[in-house]
Amino acid sequence: MFSLHPAILYGIPLLSLFWLFHLRSARSRRSLDAIPAVGSTSPILYYIEAFRFLTRSDSVLQEGYNKYKGGLFRIPRFDGWRVYVTTPELVEEIRKAPDDVLSFAEATNNEIQITYTLGKNVHENGYHVPIIRSQLTRNLAVLFPTIRDEIVAAFNDIIPKEAEKDWVEVSAMQSIMQVICRASNRVFVGLPKCRDPAYIKLNTSFTLDVVFGAVIINLFPDFLRPLAGRLFTNLDKSIQRGINHLKPIIEERRKQRQEYGLDYEGKPNDMLSWFMDEADANESTIENLTRRILTVNFAAIHTSSTSFTQALYNLASRPEYIAPLREEINAVVAEHGWTKTAMQKMRKLDSFMKESQRFEGLGATSMSRLALKDFVFSDGTFVPEGTILAVASGPLHHDGAVYPHGSNFDGFRFANIREEEGEGTRHQMVATTAVYVSFGHGRHACPGRFFAANELKTMMAHIVSSYDVKFADGMLPVNTYFATACVPDRKAKVLFRKRQD
């Protein structure tokens, strides 16, 4: 190890920030003239506004939405103007644009610097996406008992035994991340690795390494980024730790394949096996398989944990939902047992989870796309090549014209619609639309959402059928925003007690 003089440590990123900002914004400022800006377009105020967005993205977006509803608006970000759309029609136009015009992959790469964080191979080859979308989803019924087993075991380990008799405090966010990491990795890499505390720690911290690493790498001009990635982030170390965990497992499975053939008896039915089945020669190396497993964890753990924490906070601060949910869960389980089918029949539960995502969700925006070519919306709005566009999903999801009383939490909103309209699937949690973009919409809509919805509903059904939950003061904890990411209160404690009736 060596240490850098602080002047260099902070000086280089600051200088490059300045450099980057001037080039990028000078390039894009001219041609975005037709799109109205939130805040001032003068250079100094630009910075102030960009700073404000770091912690107040929800209100800045709401301000833009209120003023320019029906069209588009732009907001200063440190790396240039960002353009946001406000209507379902414009969302549809983003959805329909081909990948070589509005690119999901390049927007993501810009945001999290995939090449230097998750790995070059992950950016260039997305073979995990169809495996998640089809293989994982197809196997949900078969894997259901396994997933539920891990969920029940994890909650039993985390919620203290005293909860049998009395209310006990549980640190919600940390505990939930633990449960989700175990349940997801039961399906990604199997037992016993999914319960290894060091592996769990790696998976929960890896996401932060990527996110903070990307913020730092983003401060540098392109040619310094590989160096910045190595000097200023933990990523190399994290990948190496991942390799140490997975190498023996991969080697053992390779041996079985060589001796007994590709479909050897006892072959685990999990993500790692599917990856090993589908990977080409480059992707079959231990390092690249490890990067792929870490990538799936990156996509799955914090997203699901955020969503579930919000739902749990909503439940604990609104205890009137517990009885009707419990009634539905008991009735459905009595008929279908603990199965994937049962999870699909729990409409009130599905609605509650979906409403939580509508109301809060991962962030204030969704569906980021980088324009690889100039793009013209049907209303004539011109967006030049190089611009990043997104949906102002926070304000859209709260718009009273789209969702009646949109600023109120109504846990059974979607169940009631399904009851009235008498139709099955259009309003369920996993169904994306132009006004429900928590999982995105269209070609790149989250391929893991069927898995996620099943896992989160199974967790919530387990809690509701086994415990009473509440907050000591009855108050709903407050979300904070870091840029567009919505972060639930990480310190809030939920009280749990085994059901007494």
Return binding residues for heme.
446
Q: Could you check whether the bond before residue 192 is cis, i.e. omega within 30 degrees of 0?
A: yes
Binding mask 185-224 vs ligand NAG (x if CB under 6 A, - otherwise)?
Answer: ---------------xx--xx-------------------
With CB cut-offs between 5 and 8 Å by kind, which of ligand NAG, ligand HEM, none does residue 205 bind? ligand NAG
The Cα–Cα gap between 180 and 464 comes to 17
Regarding 299 and contact with ligand HEM (CB under 6 A), the answer is yes
470 close to 163: Cβ distance less than 8 angstroms: no
Min CB(299)–ligand NAG separation in Å: 17
| Phi, psi torsion values for 100, nearest 5 degrees | -85, 0
Is 281 a binding residue for ligand NAG by CB under 6 A? The answer is: yes
- Shortest Cβ 388–ligand HEM spacing (Å): 12
Per-residue binder mask for ligand NAG (CB under 6 A), 149-178, x = binder: -------------------------x--xx
304 makes contact, choosing from ligand HEM, ligand NAG, none, with CB < 5 to 8 Å by partner type, with ligand HEM
Q: Closer CB to ligand NAG, residue 110 or residue 125?
A: 125
451 belongs to the binding site for ligand HEM (CB under 6 A): yes
Exactly one of 228, 296, 325, 460 binds ligand HEM (CB under 6 A); which one? Answer: 296
SS3 17: helix
Q: CA dist 393 to 66, 314, 358, 367, 403, Å? A: 13, 20, 9, 9, 13
Position 280 contacts ligand NAG (CB under 6 A): yes
Closer Cβ to ligand NAG, 280 or 501, answer by number: 280
Residues 407 and 395: their CA atoms lie apart, in Å, by 10
366 counts as binding ligand HEM under rule CB under 6 A? yes
Among 132, 176, 343, 486, binds ligand HEM (CB under 6 A): 132
| Pick 157 or 327: Cβ nearer ligand NAG | 157
Which range in 47-55, 260-268, 282-290, 349-357 contacts ligand NAG by CB under 6 A?
282-290
Which of 244, 282 has the CB closer to ligand NAG? 282
Which sign, positive or negative, has the C-alpha torsion 446, 450, 456, 457? positive
Give the span between the Cα atoms of 84 and 81, in whole angstroms.
Answer: 10
Q: Could you tell me if 470 and 166 are in contact, meaning their C-beta atoms sit under 8 angstroms apart?
A: no
293 makes contact with ligand HEM (CB under 6 A): no
The C-alpha torsion from 358 through 361 and 363 to 364, rounded to 10°, is 20
Q: Which is nearer to ligand HEM, 158 or 485 (CB)?
A: 485
Which one among 303, 351, 387, 484 touches ligand HEM, defined by CB under 6 A? 303
Cross-strand bridge partners of residue 388: 82, 370
**Minimum CB distance to ligand HEM smaller for 151 or for 300:** 300
CA distance 225 to 112: 12
Is residue 181 involved in binding ligand HEM (CB under 6 A)?
no
Tokens of 207: 């996401």
CB 256 within 8 A of CB 264: yes
The CA-CA-CA angle for residues 321, 322, 328, to 5°, reads 95
Give yes or no for residue 300 binding ligand HEM (CB under 6 A): yes
β partners of residue 87 = none
The contact mask relative to ligand HEM for 419-448 (x = CB under 6 A, - = no) is: -------------------xxxx--xxxxx
The item of ligand HEM, ligand NAG, none sharing an interface with residue 367, based on CB under 5 to 8 Å by kind, is: ligand HEM
CB nearer to ligand NAG: pick between 32 and 187 = 187
Please, which residue, 219 or 296, has the CB nearer to ligand HEM?
Answer: 296
Using the rule CB under 6 A, is 121 a contact of ligand NAG? Answer: yes
Asked if 115 touches ligand NAG (CB under 6 A), the answer is no
- CA 89-95-96 angle, to 5 degrees, is 90
What CA–CA distance (Å, rounded) separates 365 from 198?
33
Question: Does position 334 bind ligand NAG by CB under 6 A?
Answer: no
CA–CA distance, 120 with 4 (Å, rounded to integer): 27
Distance CA 49, CA 43 (A): 10
Q: Residue 452 binds which entry of ligand HEM, ligand NAG, none, with Cβ cut-offs from 5 to 8 Å by kind?
A: ligand HEM
Q: What type of residue sits at position 415?
A: A
Beta-ladder partners of 480: 487
What's CA 110's distance to the chain center, in Å? Answer: 17
CB 451 within 8 A of CB 445: no
By DSSP bridging, strand 80-85 and strand 388-391 are parallel
Q: How many residues bind ligand NAG (CB under 6 A)?
A: 17
Query: Hey, is 388 helix, strand or coil?
Result: strand
Residue number, 67 or 201, with CB nearest to ligand NAG? 201
What's phi and psi for 486, nearest 5 deg?
-90, 120
Q: Which is nearer to ligand NAG, 203 or 479 (CB)?
A: 203
**Which of ligand HEM, ligand NAG, none lies near 178, with the C-beta cut-off 5 to 8 A by kind?**
ligand NAG
Identified binder of ligand NAG from the candidate list 125, 135, 381, 416, rule CB under 6 A: 125
122 burial type by CB count under 10 A (0-12 exposed, 13-18 middle, 19+ buried):
buried
The residues binding ligand HEM (CB under 6 A) are: 104, 126, 129, 132, 296, 299-300, 303-304, 307, 362, 366-367, 438-441, 444-449, 451-452
The residues binding ligand NAG (CB under 6 A) are: 121, 124-125, 174, 177-178, 200-201, 204-205, 280-283, 285, 287-288
